[in-house]
Amino acid sequence: MSTTTQPAPIHDLAAYKQLADDQLQQRIESVRAEKGSSLLILGHHYQQDEVIAHTDLRGDSLQLSQMAASNSDCREIVFCGVHFMAETADIVANRPEKLQQRAGKRVPVILPDLAAGCSMADMAAIDQVEAAWEEMAEVIKTDEITPVTYINSAASLKAFCGQNDGIVCTSSNADAVLEWAFQRKRRVLFFPDQHLGRNTAKAMGIPLNQMPVWNPYADELGGNTVEELQNSKVLLWKGHCSVHQMFTAAHVHQFREKFPQIKILVHPECPMEVVDLADISGSTGKILRTVESAEPGTQWAIGTELHMVNRLKTQHPEQDIHFLSPIICMCATMYRIDLAHLCWTLENLRDGTSVNVIEVDEETARWALLALERMLKLT
């Protein structure tokens, strides 16, 4: 499991919350100028615009971790994302060969607000997965199951996959990962997001009756019968993204009725009925590339996080871009990272007191890295 280190800060966070945005912006840029290339600030696509403006690199979670790890000048990482992203960055940036290159010196990975978690990742705790694995073993052979965890999961779950001949996936390579898994074993346990697992497996031709959902809060067998588990190809964990779960088939129908020429573009974390109705489904990166390469005047209704959709609207005024849901749905935990937290983090770092350092213990990091490396060999 990961640990968090929080020495007594030399600056009071409450004082930063009283500052105006322009003051915070100036102070953030002052630290960035002073630190130079030794400091790397990472910003996930779902982050607020005012925070994104102060980041060095922008992307999705794994992409950012890989870019940070490949940066030879970087000696401190501030990750404007959520907890599991900072864990992954720590694992990748401080893997053994990187430590050797730096004579054993770690690059600290800092999360500006420890409360910035992920509701999806929280839906699969390591003790729940381990208990489910043991319970499954009562009716099916676990040596016939490949555990697959979505990148949006805790380091402990990535380590579980590493220890049990499993693998990590992203929304862009989930199909390749499942193909790899089925070449080796009979079944897959996919967690924590049921929708990505279901949408990917369905596109591969696996029938829904071979994809039972494992509910960790059910009394027995995850709420399934013995026959359902024995007939399974993909065991889906009962988890979801609170943002993408909000999109519905009704939203798609409403847009098509109002704009007959509109194209529906959604993330595969959306429910199956939304993905089935969409023109295009794909990862955050695919959504960005699709919009960037589209003809001027194309109409889009996009089903993903609100900040990212609004940023696409601003960056591509030549296109007609809409948010798929009439309900505001943004990544609330990502939203916790604001200018005040970023400034507080940076000034403490500048003055020698690193706060909110995310460090994954050596054993967990070793097994998690193995699961990540299995995935990276496929791409």
Q: What is the pLDDT of residue 130?
A: 98
The topology (CATH level 3) of 244-323 is Rossmann fold (3.40.50)
Q: Are strands 167-169 and 145-150 parallel, antiparallel or unpaired?
A: parallel
Q: What is the pLDDT of residue 131?
A: 97
Q: Which residues contact 368 (CB under 8 A, 6 or more apart)?
A: 91, 155, 156, 158, 159, 161, 162, 360
Ranges in the chain, pLDDT < 70: 1-10, 328-332, 334, 379
Q: What is the pLDDT of residue 2?
A: 60
Query: Which segments within 127-281 are labelled E, that is strand?
Result: 145-150, 167-169, 187-191, 213-214, 234-237, 263-266, 280-281
Among the CATH numbers 3.40.50.1700, 3.50.50.60, 3.40.50.10800, 1.10.3720.10, which is that of 120-237?
Answer: 3.40.50.10800
Closest-CA residue to 263 (of 280, 246, 282, 288): 280
Dmax (CA) of the chain: 63
Q: What is the pLDDT of residue 193?
A: 96
Both tokens assigned to 10:
């030399």
Q: How far apart are CA 308 and CA 322, in angstroms?
A: 11
Q: Which residues contact 106 (CB under 8 A, 6 or more apart)?
A: 94, 99, 359
What does DSSP assign to residue 238?
A: S
Q: What is the pLDDT of residue 129?
A: 97
Q: Which residues contact 258 (CB under 8 A, 6 or more apart)?
A: none
* pLDDT one-digit tens code per residue, 275-285: 999 999 999 99
Q: How far is CA 145 from CA 82, 169, 274, 315, in A?
A: 29, 16, 29, 44
Q: How far apart are CA 72 and CA 89, in angstroms?
A: 15
Both tokens assigned to 303:
């089903």
Contact 215, 223 (CB under 8 A): yes
CATH assignment, 2-117+334-360: 3.40.50.10800
For 228, list phi and psi in degrees, rounded to 5: -65, -40
Q: How far apart are CA 175 and CA 153, in angstroms?
A: 18
Q: What is the pLDDT of residue 370?
A: 97
Sign of CA dihedral 182, 188, 191, 194: positive
Intervals of CATH 3.40.50.10800 along the chain: 2-117+334-360, 120-237, 244-323
